[in-house]
């Protein structure tokens, strides 16, 4: 029989699948002997059973009874006991952290009767009635589905009637009346009274937390973070400890290192006389963690010791929630903390230097996506800037966009291609869609552990919080500052998430310092950073650069797969090389035949005689040779895979519609244009209904004599010329869109003959690898045969995805992909991350069978997926030899290839 409930002293940190992250870590802290309020965890299995059936498992009630009885015995009180009530919190806790996405209910067990008992036992009527109104608000919103705004408006009304600004300024009678108002709101809008049975409160709260797994915001968050939908959440039931009993109490969130920068020190937020949700929700501006030391040195010193204990135990930066109740410190939660990209690299390297982890583990702690965030541009502040406010730097980066004061506007504008800055008093979980759409987020309230800060850091969004001088008016959709600045909806803002600065207008940006470092790492001599920095900024810069370059060097020494670049020009080739590319995995040649050369290709295609075709090819040869000279020189000593001409035939011919209009107009004017009319006939003859599946790739080379051989000759002649000049060119020739081995065999034989001919003419022995793109399902299915004629396979995952799914990428991504993602058909576009179940299986089979035929067959990937972290990890499992991606993503691919190697070797060892 399944077991659904575990006490905190029965689990450990390894049981996140069963107990969720929060429950597993509460158990781990209990095992460490840290001061954790007693409680129990209802497992993710129970949640999944409830979500599948719509009802809780039959055994769950009895198990909760058993563990609740044990908790009551330990505490010496019963849930909701009239004279001295045991109160509990009911909190979500999934395997993967989803901050603010699911529900929490505090003070469960308070009733009209027990609130009087709590008043007597605590000696504070204000505390008791404040706790009761909090329960009513949370329970009404979370469990009974009443709009949060109704409770907020009632609270604002009570403060307005008392002529005060803060919740703490309300008197006992104000809170009594507020409780009565809240109960009336629930009765009116929930069609039932607030339950006065403490056990009913608990049961309903547990089911509400289960149900919160499938709220819209939770689904959006999981989709963005690629968290599986079938995991479910655990529920943690914990004896309440109170930070809102008076000024000698409080609550806070702290980090063992700065989550924004990675620096060691004391970081966190503290609120006296408050409950934990006040800190996380950002509804009150917090004090620095050191304020606890000014009020309660004993608890502060104990907290610092526990912070050190937890970091050394977890060997990572920890995020900790705590409460102080009348001088007693309680630990409510810990987890490995979310951090910015810069902090991730700094912390990983610091832990290596401290000998807490090795470099392999450090690589596991950083990601390609984080490296990409570090490569974002930064503000150029050398000009005249209008600084209008400054808050807390919550998530770094430079973001510029139009001010939007609600999430719906941010989403709508972003869908129209606008850059947006979301401006809020504070964000709540319902703002997630707006935060995803926006380039950056600004809030006037909250601290570094508020919802806005935590979620923005997790998403890599630039974020500034706690900008107290902003007077944000959501209804008027504007804000003002005491200095007279007035920003309305649609005005442009620039925010610096590294400094907390908010600027009016569009601030220019400059390249990332990490990009400079990576470029320097790829050159013989490091370039000097010309940006002016003060001493502290210079130290930060040097530390970050050291962390990135050291870990990148280790990544290069660790990874099995090579990393090449997709580059079509000498400039791109040079950029790729300094970013660490080990060659070019895809040099597209189609752009070389457009522009002024298009007419020459048109002459080749429409030639009526051999002489006409040869004349045009002869003119094209030196132009194509010069193209390759620059690229081969830039990649001296490294392989360059040149893809022969691939685009559809119509791209080289006059536009059919324009030409038809021209001919028709000439005839209508009585001035027929015979040449245009004849050209029209030729274009009509070559017209295709679906050109992407028509005359392109290898078919061009077979049907139009001399076109591919022109390119092969240009490649060979360019390589010979560079060899004579002392260079070491290493071209490889790739035949596109092959579907049958005979197609490749014919082109290969012609290419080898041309190469031999060039070698004889120039008195040089020439041998080049010749391979093919595997981008059609039929090519993959016949890979065993095709490998006989290929020296390498390069998987074209873009076209393979299109032809496997039957999608036209240009049409479907905007047309129905959003709906597919909403419906859960995709978690992410298959053009961004490889469809492993379908396309991945095809690639795996082709790779295996190709290697069976020819053990030294080189396998590469040259589609967009070559730079996608998740896809790279799959390519490691099917033993791809190299990936190729855009030059800017080369460092990301280098890092992820190393992480994939470590993941693969780790799974093999286990």
Active-site residue numbers?
Answer: 451, 862
Q: Contact 884/861 with Cβ under 8 angstroms?
A: yes
Q: How far apart are CA 507 and CA 435, in angstroms?
A: 21
Q: Which two tokens stand for residue 756?
A: 């031999």
Residue of 263, 820, 164, 843 lying closest to 544 (CA atoms)? 263
**Count of CB atoms within 10 A of residue 570's CB?**
17
What is the Cα–Cα distance from 571 to 505, expressed in whole angstroms?
A: 33
Instruction: Tokens 């005359």: give the residue.
Output: 695
DSSP letter at 773?
E
Distance CA 512, CA 519 (A): 11
Bridge-based pairing of strands 730-735 and 769-774 is parallel
Joined tokens for residue 723: 């060899």
CA-to-CA distance for 628 and 568, rounded, in angstroms?
A: 9
Measure the CA–CA gap between 166 and 159, rounded to whole angstroms: 7
Q: Which long-range contacts (CB under 8 A, 24 or more apart) does 294-301 make?
A: 295/247, 295/248, 295/250, 296/248, 296/324, 296/327, 298/327, 299/324, 299/327, 299/328, 299/329
Interatomic CA distance for residues 94 and 44, integer angstroms? 8
Q: CA-to-CA distance for 70 and 822, rounded, in angstroms?
A: 43
Nearest residue to 794 (alpha-carbon basis) of 863, 886, 731: 863
- The pair phi, psi for residue 817, each rounded to 5°, is -60, -40
Q: Whole-angstrom Cα distance, residue 386 to residue 502?
A: 9
CA distances from 117 to 105, 122, 128 (A): 20, 8, 9
Q: Tell me which residue has tokens 């020009």.
A: 569
Determine how many CB atoms are found less than 10 A away from the CB of residue 812.
Answer: 16
């Amino acid at each position: 029989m399944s077991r659904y409930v575990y006490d905190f002293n029965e689990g450990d940190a390894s049981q996140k699948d069963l107990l969720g992250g929060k429950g597993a870590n509460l158990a781990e802290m209990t095992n460490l002997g840290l001061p954790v309020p007693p409680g129990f965890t209802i497992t993710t299995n129970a949640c999944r059973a409830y979500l599948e059936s719509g009802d809780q498992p039959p055994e769950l009630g009895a198990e909760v009874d058993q563990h609740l009885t044990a908790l009551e015995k330990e505490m010496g009180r019963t849930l909701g006991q009239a004279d001295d009530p045991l109160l509990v919190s009911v909190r979500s806790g999934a395997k993967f952290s989803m901050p603010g996405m699911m529900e929490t209910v505090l003070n469960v067990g308070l009733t009209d009767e027990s609130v009087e008992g709590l008043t007597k036992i605590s000696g504070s009527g204000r505390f008791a009635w404040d706790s009761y109104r909090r329960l009513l608000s949370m329970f009404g919103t979370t469990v009974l589905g009443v709009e949060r705004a109704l409770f907020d408006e009632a609270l604002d009304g009570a403060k307005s009637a008392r002529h005060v600004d803060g919740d703490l300024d309300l008197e006992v009678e104000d809170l009594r009346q507020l409780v009565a108002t809240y109960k009336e709101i629930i009765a009116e809008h929930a069609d039932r009274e607030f339950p006065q049975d403490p056990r009913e409160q608990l049961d309903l709260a547990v089911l509400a937390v289960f149900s919160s797994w499938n709220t819209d915001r939770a689904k959006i968050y999981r989709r963005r973070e690629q968290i599986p939908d079938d995991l479910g959440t655990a529920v943690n039931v914990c004896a309440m400890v109170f930070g809102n009993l008076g000024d000698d109490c409080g609550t806070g969130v702290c980090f063992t290192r700065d989550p924004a920068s990675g620096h060691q020190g004391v970081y966190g937020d503290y609120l006296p006389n408050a409950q934990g949700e006040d800190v996380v929700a950002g509804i009150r501006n917090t004090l620095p963690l050191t304020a606890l030391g000014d009020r309660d040195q004993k608890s502060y010193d104990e907290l610092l010791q526990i912070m050190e204990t937890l970091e050394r135990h977890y060997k990572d930066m920890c995020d900790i929630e705590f409460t102080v109740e009348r001088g007693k410190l309680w630990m409510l939660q810990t987890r490995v903390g979310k951090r910015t990209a810069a902090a991730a690299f700094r912390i990983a390297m610091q832990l290596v230097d401290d000998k807490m982890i090795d470099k392999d583990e450090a690589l596991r702690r950083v990601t390609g996506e984080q490296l990409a965030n570090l490569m974002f541009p930064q503000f150029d502040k050398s000009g005249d800037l209008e600084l209008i406010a400054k808050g807390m730097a919550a998530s770094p980066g430079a973001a510029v966009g139009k001010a939007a004061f609600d999430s719906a506007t941010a989403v709508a504008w972003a869908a129209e291609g606008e850059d947006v800055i979301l401006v809020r008093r504070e964000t709540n979980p319902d703002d997630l869609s707006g935060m995803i759409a926006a380039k950056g987020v600004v809030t006037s309230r909250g601290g570094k552990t508020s919802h806005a800060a935590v979620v923005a850091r997790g998403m890599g969004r630039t974020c500034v919080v706690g900008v107290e001088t902003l007077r944000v008016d959501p209804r008027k959709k504007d804000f003002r500052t005491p200095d007279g600045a007035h920003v309305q909806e649609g005005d442009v803002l620039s925010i610096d998430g590294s400094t907390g600065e908010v600027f009016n207008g569009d601030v220019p940006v400059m390249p990332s310092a990490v990009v400079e470092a990576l470029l320097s790492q790829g050159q013989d001599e490091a370039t000097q950073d010309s940006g002016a920095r003060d001493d502290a900024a210079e130290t930060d810069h040097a530390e970050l650069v050291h962390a990135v370059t050291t870990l990148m060097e280790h990544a290069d020494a660790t990874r099995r797969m090579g990393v090449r670049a997709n580059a079509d020009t000498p400039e791109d080739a040079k950029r790729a090389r300094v970013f660490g590319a080990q060659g070019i995995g895809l040099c597209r040649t189609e752009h070389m035949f457009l522009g002024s050369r298009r007419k020459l290709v048109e002459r080749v295609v429409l030639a009526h005689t051999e002489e006409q075709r040869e004349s045009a090819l002869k003119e094209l040869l030196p132009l194509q040779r010069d193209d390759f000279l620059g690229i081969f020189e830039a990649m001296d000593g490294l392989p360059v895979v040149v893809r022969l001409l691939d685009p559809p035939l119509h791209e080289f011919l006059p536009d059919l519609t324009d030409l038809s209009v021209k001919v028709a107009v000439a005839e209508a004017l009585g001035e027929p244009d015979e040449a245009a009319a004849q050209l029209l006939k030729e274009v009509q003859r070559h017209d295709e209904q679906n050109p992407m599946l028509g005359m392109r790739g290898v078919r061009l080379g077979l049907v139009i004599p001399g076109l591919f051989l022109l390119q092969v000759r240009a490649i060979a002649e360019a390589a010979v010329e560079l060899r004579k000049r002392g260079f070491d060119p290493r071209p490889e020739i790739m035949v596109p869109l092959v579907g049958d081995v005979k197609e490749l065999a014919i082109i290969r034989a012609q290419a080898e003959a041309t190469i031999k001919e060039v070698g004889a003419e120039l008195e040089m022995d020439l041998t080049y690898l010749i391979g093919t793109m595997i981008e059609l399902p039929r090519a993959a299915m016949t890979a065993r045969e095709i490998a006989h004629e290929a020296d390498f396979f390069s998987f074209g995952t873009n076209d393979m995805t299109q032809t496997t799914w039957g999608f036209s990428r240009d049409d479907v991504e905007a047309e129905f992909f959003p709906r597919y993602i909403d419906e859960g058909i995709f978690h992410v576009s298959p053009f961004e991350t490889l469809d492993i179940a379908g396309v991945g299986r095809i690639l795996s089979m082709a790779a295996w069978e190709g290697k069976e035929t020819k053990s030294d067959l080189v396998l590469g990937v040259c589609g967009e997926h070559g730079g996608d972290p998740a896809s790279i990890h799959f390519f490691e499992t099917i033993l791809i030899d190299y990936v190729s991606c855009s030059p800017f993503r080369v460092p990301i691919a280098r890092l992820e290839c190393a992480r994939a190697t470590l993941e693969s070797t780790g799974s093999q060892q286990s």
